[in-house]
Amino acid sequence: MKSFLHVSDIGPLDAALAEAAQVKATPFAWQNLGKNKTIILIFFNSSLRTRLSSQKAALNLGMNAIVLNVNGDSWKLETEMGVVMDGDKPEHLREAIPVIGSYCDLIGVRSFAGLKDRGFDYGETILRQFIEYSGKPVISLESGTVHPCQAFADLITIEEYRTKKRPKVVLTWAPHPRALPQAVPNSFAEWMNAADVDLVITHPEGYELDPQFTAGARIEYDQMKAFEGADFVYAKNWSSYTHYGQILSTDRSWTVDTRQMAVTDNAYFMHCLPVRRNMIVSDAVIDSPRSIVIPEAANRVVSAQVVMKRMLESL
């Protein structure tokens, strides 16, 4: 595997899920695979889970992991081509990336969508430069359009908790005080569409996601109707894709509460975290026995380890 952005990069999902179960059961079985290998994890943005789970996955594989917080520990990096570098960014990605590539075997990059220029974000402009100029396999740790390590962990979690062959999975928009990227819902929709689940996406009008990720899923603007009979509820805020980066609604009636969960088939509640309590989800729901946000986060180590393992095996 040379890069990890999309569900197609992991190949058949049955095989990926079987490998995830194996990795989870025997996490240290591939310690020799990563011996004398190094992954550099580049963070342009904050993280708790992605940073720690990626480091843990690398350690499980016997790899060295180096973390670089761009703009914090390093020179500020210019990401746009053709600019006169007379501002506060003394180094360009064009030099920084091959230098980073010369120090490691794998690279992970977190570079959130800026939500100002849809073409720049949806062109995966920063991640594509890492792929082109590093000469090393590159993992998206949430980039302009996708968060594949999260979506893979979500799928592993659904596989572990499902009791039906084809569960109903509802992705619901929920309110948030700040404009957030579409990467998590994009990847969740893409991966669920590829999996054997009945995916329904619900959001206020104007929050339609890019059809390249959602095509095939049912869109339902009535949240209560969408929740009927659901087996899994996945809550997430995102800003508008069509009115790019804008907040079109702060309607608190979309906050996931016991009222909506009551019409589900005793659904499990999921969220990628971090989550704003009583904005995205009520305390009653996230603290209930049907909330699986912690095992979901724990599976971030498993998804990252499978991806790194595949990349090490293909070096």
Q: How far is CA 85 from the centre of its chain?
A: 32
Cα–Cα–Cα angle for 231, 159, 203, nearest 5°?
45
Pick one of 1, 23, 42, 50: the residue that binds ligand CP (CB under 6 A): 50
Residue 186 binds ligand CP, judged by CB under 6 A: no
Q: Give the residue carrying structure tokens 């509640």.
A: 269
CB of 29 within 8 A of CB of 312?
no
Residue 273 binds ligand CP, judged by CB under 6 A: yes
CB 55 → ligand CP: shortest distance, Å? 11
CB 272 → ligand CP: shortest distance, Å? 4
Q: Rank residues 45 and 64 by Cβ distance to ligand CP and give the closer one.
A: 45
Task: Write the binding mask 73 to 112 for ligand CP: x where contact by CB under 6 A, - elsewhere.
Answer: ----------------------------------------
Q: Rank residues 78 and 301 by Cβ distance to ligand CP and give the closer one.
A: 301
Residue 49 binds ligand CP, judged by CB under 6 A: yes
Cβ-proximal residue to ligand CP, closest one: 50
CB 303 → ligand CP: shortest distance, Å? 11
Residue 272 binds ligand CP, judged by CB under 6 A: yes
Residue 47 binds ligand CP, judged by CB under 6 A: yes
Selected range binding ligand CP among 78-86, 97-105, 217-225, 268-276, rule: CB under 6 A: 268-276
Q: Rank residues 219 and 273 by Cβ distance to ligand CP and give the closer one.
A: 273
Q: Rank residues 49 and 168 by Cβ distance to ligand CP and give the closer one.
A: 49
- Distance (Å) of CA 30 to CA 34, 298, 313: 7, 19, 10
Of 270, 315, 314, the C-alpha closest to 10 is 314
Selected range binding ligand CP among 124-132, 212-220, 225-233, 272-280, rule: CB under 6 A: 272-280
Name the CA dihedral angle for 190, 193, 199, 205, rounded to a multiple of 10 degrees: 40
Count residues contacting ligand CP (CB under 6 A)? 9
CB 45 → ligand CP: shortest distance, Å? 8
- Bond preceding residue 185 cis, omega within 30 of 0: no
Q: Rank residues 150 and 223 by Cβ distance to ligand CP and give the closer one.
A: 150
Pick one of 150, 186, 187, 264: the residue that binds ligand CP (CB under 6 A): 150
Binding site for ligand CP (CB under 6 A): 47-50, 142, 150, 272-274
